[in-house]
Amino acid sequence: MTTRFERKLDTSLLDLPLAADFLPFNDLLRAWVPAGDGTAGGANMRDGLRLAIRRNYVNFYLAGQSVARVDFGQRPKCLKLTVHDKYVRGEQEQGQKTMRFVSGKPSDTPAIVADWISNARANAEGKAKRDGDREKTFVDEVISHNPNVIDVEMAMPGVLNDNGNPTAPRMDIVALEPHGDGWQLVFWEAKLSRNDEAKSLTEPQVFRQLEKYRTWLRDHEADVIAAYQQTCRILVDFRERTMKSNPDIGELGSGIRAVADGAVLALDPTIRLLIDGRKDTGRFADRHLAPLKEETTAHLVQKDADLILPVGTTAAAAPVTD
């Protein structure tokens, strides 16, 4: 049975003493930097966290990597914070061991969020140098330049893989753009120019992936729209709460605020491609960009100014920065 796509949280838990006294969660919120803050070169850009709303939990990301997860428990009412052990201990190992902190329960391990962030940054930088994998940091750079990004790593439960088995692949970026009298959801898949999936003089492998995603979005359109309407409302709520301890927190994008306030929200099932070609010699643009543009909107980032997402179904459309 496929899990329904939802975004929801019982934010009333945040009004209880258990939340006010749960210092690591409040420290994570204080480190939250909303999308678009990096366009002004904000001081928090290097170590700021991104916040993603899920179904009864939230994820905090740094440099495109998940740092911590906070579950909003109901039975009993509590906040459960899960963080990678390597971030707590400052180790550069690649394991998936985690540590858990629960509101109202003492822990033998100090929960020092500033250290987690520092260790996560060092881990991300080490991984990028070691593996040459800059895709996650590329996604975070895009988020820093686009205030109407509302989600990262959007899981799509029930998409069938090549063997016909259900999986939950993740869409890199979900954003809002103006549409008629309201706004619409748009979806971006990020690739590095050296990624073979996006290269072909005939039919790149990524086309098959995009078609599966399009089909899933069409089949779940109503649920996805409802989920992201709720996401916008929750983000506005979280920012208002965060302002009490962090009055300098950046503003949310105009689309997020408008949808939270009831603006019409539509969905464009086209999956757009975002290619980081800043380290490319020009070969990708000369040989591989045209086939991609015949299938979908493909935006090639060749300089930092190109990190602003274009609006509309062609890469030449004018961007909206707020």
More confident site: 17 or 294: 17
Q: What are phi and psi of 302, to 5 degrees?
A: -110, -15
Checking if the pLDDT of 316 tops 60, the result is no
Evaluate whether residue 147 is within a structural domain.
Answer: yes
Contact yes or no for 71/79 (Cβ under 8 A) = yes
CA dist 250 → 68, 193, 228 (Å): 21, 31, 20
Q: Tell me: the pLDDT tens digits for 213-245?
A: 999 999 999 999 999 999 999 999 999 999 988
- Asked whether residue 312 is domain-assigned, the answer is no
DSSP 10-66: -GGGGGSHHHHT-HHHHHHHHTB--TTGGGGT-TTTTTPBEEEE-BSEEEEEETTEE
- Is position 269 within any domain? yes
Domain with 81, as residue range(s), is 11-307
Position 287 in a domain? yes
- Amino acid identity of residue 83, one-letter, is V
Q: At what angle do helices 113-131 and 135-144 cross, to 10 degrees?
A: 130
Average pLDDT, integer, range 136-156: 94
Average pLDDT score over residue span 281-294: 72
Quick one: tokens of 186?
A: 């748009």
Q: Is the peptide bond before 76 cis (omega within 30 degrees of 0)?
A: yes
Q: Which tens digit of pLDDT belongs to each residue from 74-116? A: 888 999 999 988 888 887 656 678 999 999 888 878 788 988 8
Contact yes or no for 287/204 (Cβ under 8 A): no
Residue 239, Cβ neighbours under 10 Å: how many?
21
Cα-based distances in Å from 266 to 178, 183, 222, 224, 246? 10, 6, 9, 10, 33
Total of domains in the chain: 1
Q: Which residues pair with 118 in a beta bridge?
A: none
Q: Is residue 250 part of a domain?
A: yes
Give yes or no for a contact between 60 and 71, defined as CB atoms under 8 angstroms apart: no
Question: Contact at 8 Å (CB) between 82 and 99?
Answer: yes
Whether 74 is covered by a domain: the verdict is yes
Contact 308, 321 (CB under 8 A): yes
Measured from the Cβ of residue 248, the count of other Cβ atoms closer than 10 Å reads 8
- Mean of all residue pLDDT scores within the chain: 85
Does residue 1 lie in a domain region?
no
Judge whether 316 lies within some domain. no
The pLDDT tens digits of the residues spanning 177-224 come to 999 999 999 999 998 877 766 655 556 677 888 888 999 999 999 999
Q: What angle do CA 266, 270, 271 make, to 5 degrees?
A: 120
Question: Within 10 Å of residue 322's Cβ, how many Cβ atoms?
Answer: 12
